[in-house]
Amino acid sequence: MRAQTSVSQSETEKTVLSESDFAVLAAMIRRETGIHMPPQKRTLMQSRLARRLRVHGLADFSGYRRLVEQDESEMAHMVSCLTTNVTRFFRENQHFDELRTVVLPDLIERARQGGRVRLWSAGCSTGEEPCSMALTLLDLCPDAHRLDIRILASDLDPQVVQKAARGIYSPDRASQIPEGLRGRFFSAGTSDTRDLTVAEPVRALISFRVLNLLHRWPFSGPFDVIFCRNVVIYFEQSTQTELWPRFAEVLASGGRLFIGHSERLSPSAMTFFEPTGITSYKKIASSQATVSRVR
């Protein structure tokens, strides 16, 4: 039963998440998303979930724990609160340089001859990453949206996927985009906020989808390029180790994998990937990834 009393912001901010409630919630979030929250993240969890206590008029975290255990829809809210969605346009720009100078020219050539080209931003957050991929592509190939080239952009968190699909960015966020590209591929919004909206050629290239990387993927590729950057850093090593062969399995031979600056492939993954840069890899043509069963 939910408490009916209204709980103020200052009250929930003082409410302490006990070690035992933290342990239960951390185990649930790990099972659901792969995100590992060690004991030192207890205060972080407490502050991020305080809002949910207010929404439900709950006086303490034990009540919230019981709610999440009973109500599956609350799990999605908890996931949204606990995922870190920090991103920006052209983040870790060396990857976009490699894409522009080494990877895309051959792929564009293939598409011009009628071939199929697929890219994936896995863990796309609010869309800046797939949008930067699309802008890099359109800069080299302005008619890319008329060829068989598509970018899949996926994330576990429906709220960020919705925002990504809207394609509206504040002037501050959009200032991270080189001026030439911003002028060509964004238009002023209809409101008086000075927000910028992504133009149709960019939209046409990207499909957005809610997808939990830990679950079964409803496609088999092949992808030519996968960006999965700053996502697995929140996972335990064992979860990361299980994920790499799954990426290898859906990558075309010679396909590229880009990961975040503080992430590394596990040693076992190096049987099917060779490095092309510090955090960029190429699938070894002859390799065959063996994938363990997923949910």
Ligand X SMILES: C[S@@+](CC[C@H](N)C(=O)[O-])C[C@H]1O[C@@H](n2cnc3c(N)ncnc32)[C@H](O)[C@@H]1O
| Residues with catalytic function | 48, 155
Q: Using the rule CB under 6 A, which residue among 10, 39, 40, 86 binds ligand X?
A: 86
Regarding 213 and contact with ligand X (CB under 6 A), the answer is: yes
Q: Using the rule CB under 6 A, which residue among 21, 155, 195, 224 binds ligand X?
A: 155
Nearer to ligand X, 157 or 224 (CB): 157
Regarding 212 and contact with ligand X (CB under 6 A), the answer is: yes
Regarding 214 and contact with ligand X (CB under 6 A), the answer is: yes
Regarding 295 and contact with ligand X (CB under 6 A), the answer is: no
Q: Using the rule CB under 6 A, which residue among 84, 170, 253, 268 binds ligand X?
A: 84
Q: Using the rule CB under 6 A, which residue among 18, 85, 162, 276 binds ligand X?
A: 85
Interface pattern 98-137 for ligand X (x via CB under 6 A) = -------------------------x-x---x--------
Rg (CA), the chain: 21
Nearer to ligand X, 77 or 229 (CB): 229
Regarding 229 and contact with ligand X (CB under 6 A), the answer is: yes
Q: Nearest approach, Cβ of 30 to ligand X (angstroms)?
A: 10
Q: Nearest approach, Cβ of 87 to ligand X (angstroms)?
A: 3
> Per CB under 6 A, which region of 64-72, 105-113, 207-215, 251-259 contacts ligand X?
207-215
Q: What is the 3-state secondary structure (H, E, C) of the chain?
A: CCCCCCCCHHHHHHCCCCHHHHHHHHHHHHHHHCECCCHHHHHHHHHHHHHHHHHHCCCCHHHHHHHHHHCHHHHHHHHHHHCCCCCCCCCCHHHHHHHHHHHHHHHHHHHHCCCCEEEEEECCCCCHHHHHHHHHHHHHCCCHHHCCEEEEEEECCHHHHHHHHHCEECHHHHCCCCHHHHHHHEEECCCCCCCEEECHHHHHHEEEEECCCCCCCCCCCCEEEEEECCCHHHECHHHHHHHHHHHHHHEEEEEEEEECCCCCCCHHHHHCEEECCCCEEEECCCCCCCCCCCC
Q: Which residues bind ligand X (CB under 6 A)?
A: 33-35, 83-87, 91, 123, 125, 129, 155-157, 160, 212-214, 229-231, 260
